Structure 1
Amino acid sequence: MSKKRGLSVEEKRSRMMEFFYEKKDFFQLKELERLCQKEKGITSMSVKEILTSLVDDGMVDTDKIGTSVYFWAFPSKASQNRKRKLDDLINRNNELDEKKRTLENNIKKAKIGKEDSEKRSQIIQDLDGKKQEKASLLKEIDKYRECDPEVIEAVQKQTGEAKEAANRWTDNVFSIKSWIKNKFQFEESVIDKQFGIPDDFDYVE
């Protein structure tokens, strides 16, 4: 025997709204938990969750009177909500229709003077040719970029900075060699060999 399927959330919401519309009265949570289970098959444990979702969606009204909280929903409000939603959709549809007409008019205006013709086709062809020519010239310019005075100046500046940096490190190496030689009485050739310093190590001219 197959197990009976429980109600989905939407089914519970729908049944609870049916309950309110049929009763047309005010209820507390405890009453709803008892009556909705008895009359609509909604388990008492899920009544609060379903009720809260309906209140959040504005489908069920609630208010606190003294120490008690009451819930209600009348068919008239549902009808008003549907009418308001329908009016909103109609207004939105009218706005979209107006926007569509405006866009269609703009498209028509934009097409004026752009109708297909032999002259227009020739102009487009000439434009494509100019674009290709421009791309070819840019490639040619790149070939001679190395001769650009600004590029040459930048390379010279970078070369000078690199030379200064190299000579500063050369100074440091000579200073360290001198310190080791005086401190430990090592021959310069021994120091060079130990640290892999070539015989022709010198400043960059």
Structure 2
Amino acid sequence: MSRKGVSAAEKRTRLLDYFHETLTFHKLQELEKTVPKEKGIVQQAVKDVLQSLVDDGLVTVEKIGTSNFYWSFPSAVQQAKNAQLQNLEAEMNRIETANADLESKIQEAAGGRQNNAQRQEMLKQLQEAEALDAQYQKELKQYSDNDPSLIEAQKNIFTFQSYCVDKFMVDRQEFNRNFNIPEDLDTIP
């Protein structure tokens, strides 16, 4: 049977336990010698695991002179967790307050809508106006197909196209492709 390796989370836990058991500061070289023997973490992984603990704020590092010293105390970890808990509780209270404010605004807005005859009449007028607008939009679409400015723009394109074909000996399909002109431009209504 082959041995299974230790997971990254397990390595982190073991290294953090080592700090909490020794209750002192350590150099990296010292950790690379003692941790593999006592906690079963391979020497090459100690530095990476240590850096991940430092990044997460579970181990403190301080540069003194030319050496880096690492330490972690159970009380510091507990204080960090308590501070995080307080921050999360404050955030939750803020969100609950904002939620309550929004709920009261919703209730206020719903209370302001009284279903009386005047409101019904205004809703009816709104529906009629929307229907009339839809009808006008349909008519406008029909007229836009015969828009004089659109027809003039098409004439200008064809004039420019024939000028380039005659003057510069350019193929019509190549001209259309280069200027992104659809082949069926003359059949567009």
**TM-score bracket relative to the smaller structure:** 0.7 to 0.9
The 8 Å contact of residues 59 and 78 in structure 1, kept in 2 or not, is answered as: yes
- Aligned amino acid, residue 105 of structure 2: N
Please list every run of 5 or more consecutive structure 2 residues that lacks an aligned counterpart in the other structure: 168-189
Q: Distance in 2 between matches of 1:51 and 1:61?
A: 10
Alignment RMSD (CA, Å): 3.0
Identity, % of aligned positions: 32
Q: Distance in 1 between matches of 2:126 and 2:72?
A: 69
Q: What is the aligned partner in structure 2 of residue 6 from structure 1?
A: 5
Higher radius of gyration, 1 or 2: 1
So what's the TM-score if we normalise by structure 2? 0.72
Q: What is the aligned partner in structure 1 of residue 182 from structure 2?
A: none
Aligned residues: 167
Q: CA deviation at 1:68?
A: 2.9
Q: Distance in 1 between matches of 2:159 and 2:67?
A: 88
Q: What is the aligned partner in structure 2 of residue 152 from structure 1?
A: 148
The structure with higher relative contact order (CA 8 Å, sep 6+) is 2
1:143-166 CA distances to partner (integer Å, 9 max, x unpaired)?
34467xxx4366457647856985
Question: Secondary structure of 1:112's partner?
Answer: helix
Q: What is the aligned partner in structure 1 of residue 137 from structure 2?
A: 138
Question: Secondary structure of 2:109's partner?
Answer: helix
Question: Secondary structure of 1:70's partner?
Answer: strand
The 8 Å contact of residues 146 and 152 in structure 1, kept in 2 or not, is answered as: no
1:54-87 CA distances to partner (integer Å, 9 max, x unpaired)?
1122211122333332211111211110111011
